[in-house]
Amino acid sequence: MTDEGGAPRISEILQGGKVDEGGVHLKREVLLAQLFPSQVTRPKLGRYDVLEFVGEGGMGTVYAAYDPRLDRRVAVKLLRKASAGDPQRHARLLREAKALARLSHPNIVTIHEVWEEDGEIHLAMEFIQGEDLSRWQQAPHDWREVVEAYRQAGEGLAAAHDAGLVYRDFKPHNAIRREEDGVVKLLDFGLARVAGDPLEARTEPEPAGVDAPEGGEHLTRPGAIMGTPAYMAPEQLEGAPADARSDQYGFCAALWEGLYRQLPHERVILGGGIFEKEERVEPPRDAGVPTWVRRVLERGLAVDPAERYPSMRALLRDLARDPAQRRRRVLGLAGAGLTMVIGGLAIAELRSEPPTPCVELSAAWDEAQRDAAREGVSRAGGSAAAQTWTLLEPRLDRHAEELSRIRRQSCESHRRGLLPDEHYQLQVACLDRRQAAFTQLVELLGHADEAAVSNANKAITELPSPWVCTNTESLLAEHLPPDDPEVAARVGSLREELARASAEEAAGLYDQAEARSDEVLEQARTLAYEPLQAEALVRWGSARMLAGEADSLQRLDEALWMSLASEQRRVAAEAAAKRIFALVELQDRSADASEAIALARSLVARSGAADWRTRWALSNNTAVALERKGEQSAALGAYQEALARIPDEEDLGTFERAATLLNMAPVQLRLGQSTQAVDSARGALEQLDSLFGSEHPRWRGGKATLASLLRKSGRLAEAQATLDSVLERYSEDDPPPPWMLLEAARIARARDQHAGARQWIARARARLGEPGPRPTVWDVVLTAMDAEILAAQGYARGLDELERLVVTVGSDLRVDLDLGRAEARLSLGRAAEAEAILHAVLADPELTEWDRMSAELLMARVLVAQARWSDAREHLRGLVEGNRLVPVERAQALDALATAELGLGLRDRSLEHAEQAVRALRGADPDSDAMRRAEATLARARDLAPSPPLAGP
């Protein structure tokens, strides 16, 4: 080895056989798995997933690992290949390790498993979070606490001695104090004597000739580099074999240091590492340690082993004999100092670095994206742009912040071994979907998409919170990825596509959402992966349903069956809840709703983890179905249930709450609860204000709806003031939508402001532009209203225009037109003609319940006008018993009924119904036409009715 060719490369020299390639490989993969958790699989040691490199020392290397079988954390130690060239020694080491694994004591770290892999001995040990006593005792503690900690360590030593094992190298480093409960455990028991030959590796001073101390050196100087023999018994330093009494010495030296914060002795080591002598050092007087404790320790520290206690147990007995007080446990007292993660090896001094933070966090929301979004909102947000952005920005911030926080948290749990790989991957995939949806929304904003900007605040609160990704249980229940990793990756990215589709859906871009889900569906079919097909179908169906397409029902049905087949309860629940709406609202099949509701209810109940939105949708849609079937009380109950299902958390569910409240108000109105109805609408407005701001079309729409509710309650002055406050927010460039102008016309007409009403109609017409060849619903409604107003003033000229529409109108608008024609004729006193028209309308078997109601009411009025009391009464009885009428209609019906009954001489009945009519208008303007009429009828009924009996019932 003296020739040049034999000269080892410097790098080889430095790696010097101690850094074996396998070790480097393992450490490298562990680190890579920490830095790139979704790319690099955690290496395994035996059956354990390695989480983190913990430390390296003379004995070997320690890793924190996770035991998937028992779902717990362990420390895995690889004993250094010191015995590689010595099979006998290797065998002995293995035998010792296995003997240790059988040793079970609360104060000794448990060894779960010992095995050999690649010629190396591996130990899986109990994982302890805490600090070793050497670190722990750096902070000041009451002497009793210190004695208690060491008493536990002493119990461990005694138990080992009972089993015939000697520690040989006891020192504060080798005892760990568990953070959570203060339990102290011994580490590395017994291995020291076989593994590293402590007298060579640990007590030998630095290589001869290097830093050779002149005339001896105090080896106990602080920061001594080599394994310090400070705690070792003198006989060990002289080369004699160690026994239990040597451990006793070490124990006492360590405890002494813990109490007095200095070692009990000073030792002189001569050059060449020869131990010369030791001298006892007087401890500080002010240490506050009782003399009796010191006496016990001094006996244990006797230079002659024969003078020490006969056993650890004897020593512990004396140590427990506190004359002043009984031993008490000091468990749980907080120890100051750093908390470290320690496994089976005194690594405190090795582990100076903080644990790896999780870094795999993609930037979800950077300045460039923010600027683009702000720009997009200001370009497409119209007059509401500024307000939209003010409300939107913090929501986007919060969502992005939550995304990265949950990512960090999830990565952190994974890193600390609290989250198995499989669960972590599910969480990461879920977070990727949330990220995709968020990014999609942000991109839409950046493109200044009008719908997206208008719906942005709703959409961002509708995007599922990243929190859902922390619910591993529900992720496991729904999203088990396929086994084939390639298919799984494909499925993962398709699911991200669906998340994007749901962002588009939330942003009101139904076409895009549909197209994207359709594309995913195609791909899912190619993959023949049913769960994904179901997910794509429900997205497609949902987007189509929101777009108002009747055929969305088929998609949702398909999604339902497929998700049931692939056991995806959450998807099934969503499909079932949504199809109720498609069935009732888009296909007018209220009659079939009961079955759909029952099915959805059972599915939602079974899918424990169903999104609250699905539960809300179920209740809300059930209410819609009940309402359509005329079951107003039940509908109100279901709406209240829907409200109760919305969580009360910041702006979560704001839109849903507003939607349900606005749905609920007319139901309350029909149930005669006008005040509550108005309160509901006002509640909805509050929600819309906090979600969108008062410049937003949705808020304005909500306010106009409130005006309409007020009108239907007969509170006309209020209705007008409310609507005026909305209308004045519009301008030339930003005109109100036609339906608001129509509402303004209706309010004006109800207040007998004929000219004003006709002006509103003219404005609405102007807004709509030139009529096309086929009349729209607007043409019909506006023309009819104009004709009615003219008729109310005695002019028949409006009728001509109405009659012209008869030729061109489609069958779907025919009823609306006919009702208008009849109403106008009634006003003109041409009741017989009106009757004929209504007769035809009522003869139509296809007539919906709601149209029938309107026709019946009008017919009754026509009959009253002709003094055909009996016939009128026939039509009215059903109407007033049902609950489809809003207060003004109810008052109108009751008034007509009272009049008919008066005509028939049924005075009691008439009085009763006239009173009801007035009551229905409770809160209405006293000077309104409806109220005046109701009161007039009541007065007539009172005049004709006999006086009420004097005595009460």
Partner 1 sequence: MWTQGANDGQLITEWKRGDQSAGAELFRRYYAPILRFYRSKVGGQAPDLVQRCFLRCIEIRPRIREEDSFRCFVFGVARNVLLEHYRRARSNARVDFGEQTVEDLSPTPTSELAQEERSQLLLQALRRLPVDQQIVVELYYWEELNAREIAEIYEVPEPTIRTRLRRAKLRLEQELCGLASTPQIARQTLTSLDAWARRLRDQLDEPERP
d(CA 327, CA 703) in angstroms, rounded, equals 74
Here the tokens at position 508 are 């009101």
Among 31, 515, 599, 671, the residue binding partner 1 under the rule CB under 8 A is 31
The pair of three-digit structure tokens given for residue 136, joined into one six-digit string: 């722990």
The CB-side HSE value for 195 (13 A sphere, CA atoms) comes to: 24
Cα(96)–Cα(450) distance, rounded to whole angstroms? 75
Binds partner 1 (CB under 8 A): choice among 69, 87, 102, 210: 210
Residue 394 sits in the site that holds partner 1 (CB under 8 A): no
Segment interacting with partner 1 (CB under 8 A) among 29-37, 98-106, 533-541, 897-905: 29-37
> Between residue 493 and residue 512, which ones bind partner 1 under the rule CB under 8 A?
none
Question: Do residues 903 and 941 touch, judged by C-beta distance below 8 A?
Answer: no
Binding mask 777-816 for partner 1 (x = CB under 8 A): ----------------------------------------
Q: DSSP string of 914-940? A: HHHHHHHTTTS-TTSHHHHHHHHHHHH
485 forms part of the interface with partner 1 (CB under 8 A): no
Q: How many CB atoms lie within 10 A of CB 9?
A: 8
Containing H/E element for 129? strand 128-132
**Phi, psi at residue 900, to the nearest 5°?**
-60, -45
Please report how close the Cβ of residue 517 comes to partner 1 at its closest, in angstroms. 25
Residues, the chain: 953
CA atoms of 217 and 268, how far apart (whole Å) = 6
Structure token digits, residue 449: 């998409």
Q: Given the complex with partner 1, which of 270 and 330 has the nearer CB atom?
A: 270
Q: Report which residue type is found at 843.
A: A
Residue 337 is encoded by which pair of tokens?
């100092």
Shortest Cβ 97–partner 1 spacing (Å): 22
Residues 185-204 that bind partner 1 (CB under 8 A): 201
E strand or H helix at 515, and its extent?
A: helix 510-527
Q: Of 221-229, 375-383, 449-457, 643-651, which part binds partner 1 (CB under 8 A)?
A: 221-229
Piece of 27-35, 141-149, 609-617, 897-905 that binds partner 1 (CB under 8 A): 27-35
Alpha helices in 467-509 (DSSP H): 472-478, 485-506
* Residues 359-378: x where in contact with partner 1 by CB under 8 A, - otherwise, as a string: xx-x----------------
Provide, rounded to whole angstroms, the least separation between the CB of residue 52 and partner 1.
9
DSSP tag of 242:
P
Element (H, E) at 175: strand 175-178
Among 106, 337, 357, 829, binds partner 1 (CB under 8 A): 357
Does position 526 interact with partner 1 (CB under 8 A)? The reply is no
Closest CB to partner 1 among residues 358, 813 = 358
- Return the closest-CA partner of residue 570 out of 506, 617, 525: 617
Interaction pattern, residues 578-617, with partner 1; x per rule: CB under 8 A: ----------------------------------------
Q: Which of the ranges 222-230, 434-442, 575-583, 852-860 carries the binding residues for partner 1, by CB under 8 A? A: 222-230
Least spacing, CB of residue 273 vs partner 1, in Å:
13
User: Which CB, 206 or 631, lies closer to partner 1?
Assistant: 206
Exactly one of 18, 295, 321, 797 binds partner 1 (CB under 8 A); which one? 18
Residue 194 sits at the vertex; the CA angle it makes with 28 and 312, to the nearest 5 degrees, is 115
If the CB atoms of residues 34 and 892 are measured against partner 1, the closer one turns out to be: 34
Question: Which of 766, 762, 699 shows the shortest CA–CA distance to 729?
Answer: 699
Which member of 99, 308, 339, 352 binds partner 1 (CB under 8 A)? 352
Amino acid identity at 899: T
Q: Which is nearer to partner 1, 200 or 812 (CB)?
A: 200
Q: Give the integer Cα–Cα distance in Å for 205 and 207.
A: 6
How many residues bind partner 1, per CB under 8 A? 51
By the rule CB under 8 A, 35 interacts with partner 1: yes
Least CB distance from residue 34 to partner 1, whole Å? 8
Rank residues 17 and 845 by Cβ distance to partner 1 and give the closer one.
17
Nearer to partner 1, 11 or 731 (CB): 11
Please name the amino acid found at residue 232. M
Three-state SS for 295?
A: helix
Among the listed residues 783, 855, 775, 864, the one whose alpha carbon sits nearest the alpha carbon of residue 822: 855
The nearer residue to partner 1, 55 or 344, going by C-beta atoms, is 55
Minimum CB separation of residue 618 from partner 1 in Å reads 39
* Residue 488 in the binding site for partner 1 (CB under 8 A): no
Maximum alpha-carbon separation in the chain: 137
Choice between 124 and 346, CB closer to partner 1: 346
Phi then psi for 679, rounded to 5 degrees? Answer: -60, -40
Could you tell me the smallest distance in angstroms from the CB atom of residue 198 to partner 1?
A: 14
Which residues are annotated as catalytic?
Answer: 169
**Residue 940 interacting with partner 1 (CB under 8 A):** no
Give the C-alpha separation, 143 to 726, whole Å. Answer: 77
Q: How far apart are CA 719 and CA 281, in angstroms?
A: 96
Cβ closer to partner 1: 416 or 814? 416
184 forms beta bridges with 177
Toward partner 1, which CB reaches closer, 52 or 557? 52
CA count, 13 A, side-chain hemisphere, 512: 18
- Taking the C-alpha atoms of residue 194 and residue 72, their distance in angstroms, rounded to an integer, is 29
Q: Judge whether 76 and 123 are in contact, CB under 8 Å.
A: yes
- Applying CB under 8 A, the span of 34-42, 84-92, 439-447, 561-569 interacting with partner 1 comes to 34-42
Query: Which of 364, 611, 643 minimizes the C-alpha distance to 464?
Result: 611
Window contacting partner 1 (CB under 8 A); options: 28-36, 102-110, 448-456, 940-948: 28-36
Separation CA 181–CA 331 (nearest Å): 6
Out of 129, 356, 587, 676, point to the residue binding partner 1 (CB under 8 A).
Answer: 356
Query: Binder to partner 1 among 20, 40, 298, 701 (CB under 8 A)?
Result: 40
Any contact of residue 222 with partner 1 (CB under 8 A)?
no
DSSP line for 865-877? HTT-HHHHHHHHH
Identify the residue among 46, 58, 737, 756 touching partner 1 (CB under 8 A). Answer: 58
Half-sphere exposure of 683 (CA within 13 A, CB side): 18
The window from 11-19, 460-468, 578-586, 863-871 that contacts partner 1 (CB under 8 A) reads 11-19
Q: How far is the CB of 732 from partner 1 (least distance, A)?
A: 48
Of 101 and 270, the one with the shorter C-beta distance to partner 1 is 270
Quick one: which of 183, 199, 226, 270 contacts partner 1 (CB under 8 A)? 226
Closest to partner 1 by CB, 356 vs 776, is 356
Q: Which of 714, 690, 716 is nearest to 702 (CA)?
A: 690
Output the CA–CA distances (angstroms, integers) from residue 599 to 533, 603, 606, 775, 815, in the order listed.
21, 6, 11, 41, 34
The residue within the footprint of partner 1, chosen from 140, 225, 323, 794 (CB under 8 A), is 225
| Residues lying near partner 1 in the complex (CB under 8 A) | 1-4, 6-11, 13-19, 24, 27-28, 31-32, 34-36, 38-40, 53, 55-58, 201, 206-210, 223, 225-226, 350-353, 356-357, 359-360, 362
